[in-house]
Amino acid sequence: MLAAFSIAPVGAGESVSSEVAEVVRLVRESGLANETNAMFTNVEGEWDEVMALLKTCTEKVAERSGRVSLVVKIDYRRGVTGALRSKVEAVERHLRAGA
């Protein structure tokens, strides 16, 4: 499955990039396929792998901030892998075909 998630401390100042960096470090060390953009970090893996990672990340941010906000969007398809890349490629193919 694919998960896009965004974790932010509540009430820790307007700049949250150091907390986000700690989360991204944990994601990259996880071994799961991942990609960080300006709004979300996308990861691909099995349910238990992805959720264990989200728990680790949330608890990491909660060490410094008593309150944490987490937004997650999941695209769950059994037996599909490589979707982090293939979904974008499918859209690009459609766009080229329609040109």
What's the one-letter identity of residue 51? M
The reply on whether position 31 binds its own copies by CB under 8 A is no
The reply on whether position 91 binds its own copies by CB under 8 A is yes
The reply on whether position 46 binds its own copies by CB under 8 A is no
- Residue from 26, 29, 76, 81 touching its own copies (CB under 8 A): that is 76
The reply on whether position 26 binds its own copies by CB under 8 A is no
The reply on whether position 56 binds its own copies by CB under 8 A is no
List CB contacts of 43: < 8 A, sequence separation 6 or more: 2, 3, 5, 27, 30, 32, 33, 34, 50, 53
